[in-house]
Chain A
Amino acid sequence: MISPSGCGVFGILRKPHAPKIPGDKVVTAIDAVSYRGSDKGAGFAVFNKEEGNYYYLKAFFLDDPSKMKRVMEDQGLQVLEEQVEVEDSGVCSCNYKVSIGNIAQLRKAVRNLNEMLWPDRRGRIYSMGRSLNVFKGVGYPKDIAKIYDVSKYSGDMWLAHTRQPTNSPGSYPYWSHPFSSFDVAIVHNGDVSSFGANLEFLQSRGWGGFVGTDSEVMAFLFEELISEGLTVEEVSKILVNPSRRTSAISPHHDYLYRNARLDGPFTAIIGYDSGEDLYIVGLADRSKFRPVLIGEDEYYYYIASEESQIRLMSREAKVWTLNPGSYFIASLKKGVISYGRDIEEIRSFSAYPSFTSSDYDIDASRVGYKDLNREILKTGKKEVKVINVMGHRYVGLTFPRAGMKVRLYGVVGNAMANLNENNEFYVYGNVADDCCDTMHGGKVVITGDARDVLAQTLQGGKVFVGGNAGNRVGIQMREYANKRPYLVIGGRVDDYLGEYMAGGVIVVLGLRVKGEKTGNFVGTGMVGGKIFVRGKVEPEKIGIQPNRLEVARLLKALKMEGYIDDIEPTSYVDVMNRLKGEAKKYARRLFEEKVGIPTYEYRELNEEEAKELKEILREYDADLGTNATELLGEKFTVISPSRG
């Protein structure tokens, strides 16, 4: 069965006191998610800091390898050693050790070579760096690891990738990840829709000879911006392209580096050797359309597509997700430079799960990622306990309509309890993306965290989360006939909570967090149902609102036309509360879609609401051992559809 998916990525950096990372561990961590990719490309990049005055170049070449050296020398490169590493399906991979005479000259020579070789597909220099070594080709990660014997290497930092090609072919190794530029390597999951604009930016600065994969521009942009003298953090901030309403980029950089920023869905990991230090960078696009997990333990920093990749290497690592539109940066010598999230928020993520329990029915450690359903049904029992769950997907998809009760220990993979009708799931640990999609009834209880797109089109039953939930939680929830779904989150959530919601109830309790309990764009486009968040949510986080500058401009125009007197331009929701009549209508027509921006109230619950929630929270408390019912007397932010 072919199951289309995104790509899978992995990155790891050691801390100064930690031993080097052996290649076979990295192979295991990327192989664990090889179902995210295909046989159309995979690769590894290893950085090994050493004091040497040499550069290592690696080239794919379709011609006689001995000719390549001559071509390189014609460009003024001093080749000290050459070696044919691998020959595979007519393409050879050759290694060259060159002396660093003049670094600018070296860069120019490599660019010239690629511009010369690429147009008629004769070859490609694909890895260049003092400490960097890229291994890539056509196949699954395991195949590439075998061809290059990756497990014999160890390093200070690794990147790995398994590829699901979307916008360039997968028939030659040129298009596989990692992509490399001078001392830079990147792996990427997603699509870069700003690709054309980025190419123009690079071309205007003298770059050429692109292989035509969107991901490739990231490596070049990173190198170009670093060589402008920007810091790794400044470059990351520009690349990740945060929304202007956050004012994260200075107006000067914003203007100067337009066309150098990334747009579209992406999770990228960048490795960089500055000469003094090694950096690992994880980027998440501003809607976080691709999964990314960050992990840290005593010895290493991890960046991964799925939690199971990190847990395979370190069961007790602290794991959190990137905020949409943010970046994680750590270096070998400086430690963490940016966490990609507020420190308070990181503390609120659940502790590592216990993978075991006594008297279990199934040990999932030897069960394939999509075979767990079969094993559970094979027991013939109605109540089944499974331990060592590690990224297993689609749990519950083939269960009978009702009567099953499963207890899962560990980290459950994507798409658990999808289309569930009346079964019950208890997870002692965390659950990956897309849990409880289109569930009609039954119950799901998660003691730890849930990730993105939890409870999409939930339309019956209850979903209780003890910890945090991710991005786009409870979107398109609905109710019909006598079905009314309930989603209760104990911790906090990220952006787009209850987007396009049409029915049911979402409660965010924020039990473990002091700070903000939701991200931005709460209830965008909602037409039914209700969202309750304990405590105050800033009004600017509701729906998609115009920024203050736009609001100020409209107010100025309204005043000029005599509709209003002076109104201080604050948040859009505040301003709307003060506008009346024609002025309000103009604002709505200019800034709102048909369904409008949701209604926002910060108040105590009314009798009817308190009664309904009390019943639900009593059950939540019983399942998760909390005292949420006692909090019902507090003030809540209540978000409901626009009243028009």
Chain B
Amino acid sequence: MVHKTKIGSYFVPEDLDEMEDLANEGEVPGFILDEDLLGEDIELVISEADLRLKEAGVRNRYDLLAKSSKLRDSADVFKLVALGADSVIMPFTILEVAIGEGSKGNLKERTFNLIAGMRKEIALLAGSAGIYSIQSSLTGNRELLRAINLNSYLARKIRVRQAGSL
């Protein structure tokens, strides 16, 4: 098979079948799943990719990276990790917003604030979920998520229970 797209050493599959084929071949360190390329909500894509690799019994040999132009804040990151992503690539948009249009302030300063702020927010979210170790305890931990106003078909699909469930 010819691999068309590649960022660094990760592959960017065009659909999940391609990802699974590559995973079974075993020569890939991980995958970048791009919502803009795949055309489906990133939450569904990531969760399904995670479950398919688990089904194949090879999940822990690969990194799954989520990428989308629609992501905005640290809660998006936290949610995607809980649905199975190892890492999340934030879009350039948030940097533009953080820097601010027509801003006269120090751009470097604002970028730094954005990164430092997100770092602390993720630590706070982990604290309220009762976990220390993001990589080990949060990745794929759907038990920490609950669905609100999500139709039951989608909730089942990403294996997240309705709010109020024990």
Interface residues of A (CB under 8 A from B): 167-168, 191, 193-197, 199-201, 203-206, 241, 243-244, 255-261, 263-264, 286, 561, 586, 589-590
Could you say which residues of chain B place their CB within 8 Å of the CB of A194? Answer: 131, 133, 136-137, 141
Q: Among the listed B113, B130, B139, which residue makes an inter-chain contact with A197, where contact means beta carbons less than 8 Å apart?
A: B139
Question: Is B143 an interface residue when CB atoms closer than 8 A count as contact?
Answer: yes
What is the chain B residue whose CB lies nearest that of A582? B109
Instruction: Contact check, B141 vs A255: say whether CB atoms are below 8 A apart.
Output: no
Instruction: Contact check, B142 vs A200: say whether CB atoms are below 8 A apart.
Output: yes
Could you say which residues of chain B place their CB within 8 Å of the CB of A200? Answer: 54, 140-142
Q: Among the listed A193, A244, A255, which residue makes an inter-chain contact with B137, where contact means beta carbons less than 8 Å apart?
A: A193
Minimum CB–CB distance from B14 to chain A (whole Å) comes to: 25
Partner-binding segment picked from B3-11, B36-44, B55-63, B69-77: B55-63
Could you say which residues of chain A place their CB within 8 Å of the CB of B61? Answer: 256
Could you pull out 15 A-B pairs where Cβ atoms are within 8 angstroms? A193-B131, A194-B131, A196-B141, A196-B142, A196-B144, A197-B138, A199-B143, A200-B142, A203-B54, A204-B57, A260-B136, A263-B136, A264-B137, A561-B108, A589-B112
Instruction: Contact check, A259 vs B131: say whether CB atoms are below 8 A apart.
Output: no
Could you say which residues of chain B place their CB within 8 Å of the CB of A193? Answer: 129-131, 137, 144
What is the chain A residue whose CB lies nearest that of B138? A197
Could you say which residues of chain A place their CB within 8 Å of the CB of B2? Answer: none
Could you say which residues of chain B place their CB within 8 Å of the CB of A204? Answer: 54-55, 57, 59-60
What is the chain A residue whose CB lies nearest that of B140? A200
A286 to B61, CA, bound (A): 26
Minimum CB–CB distance from A206 to chain B (whole Å) comes to: 8
Question: Is B119 an interface residue when CB atoms closer than 8 A count as contact?
Answer: yes
A196-B141, A196-B144 given as contacts; is B136 within 8 A of A259 (CB)?
Answer: yes
6 nearest A-B pairs in the assembled complex, by CB-CB distance = A196-B143, A204-B54, A194-B137, A263-B137, A193-B130, A196-B141
Minimum CB–CB distance from A613 to chain B (whole Å) comes to: 36
Could you say which residues of chain B place their CB within 8 Å of the CB of A199? Answer: 143
Interface contact tally, CB-CB below 8 A: 83
Question: Is B1 an interface residue when CB atoms closer than 8 A count as contact?
Answer: no
A194 to B144, CA, bound (A): 9
Minimum CB–CB distance from A230 to chain B (whole Å) comes to: 15
Could you say which residues of chain A place their CB within 8 Å of the CB of B97? Answer: none
A259 to B119, CA, bound (A): 22
A319 to B39, CA, bound (A): 62
A196-B143, A257-B60 given as contacts; is B136 within 8 A of A286 (CB)?
Answer: no
In this complex, the member of A204, A241, A244, A257 whose beta carbon has the largest number of chain B beta carbons within 10 angstroms is A204
Could you say which residues of chain A place their CB within 8 Å of the CB of B133? Answer: 194, 241, 244, 261, 263
Q: Which of B14-65 contact A (CB under 8 A)?
A: 54-55, 57, 59-61
Instruction: Contact check, B136 vs A197: say whether CB atoms are below 8 A apart.
Output: yes
Q: Which of B110-166 contact A (CB under 8 A)?
A: 112-113, 115-116, 119, 129-133, 135-144, 166
Minimum CB–CB distance from A464 to chain B (whole Å) comes to: 34
A561 to B106, CA, bound (A): 13
Could you say which residues of chain B place their CB within 8 Å of the CB of A258? Answer: 60, 135-136, 139
What is the chain B residue whose CB lies nearest that of A285? B132
Could you say which residues of chain B place their CB within 8 Å of the CB of A243? Answer: 132
Instruction: Contact check, A590 vs B137: say whether CB atoms are below 8 A apart.
Output: no
Could you say which residues of chain A place their CB within 8 Å of the CB of B135? Answer: 258
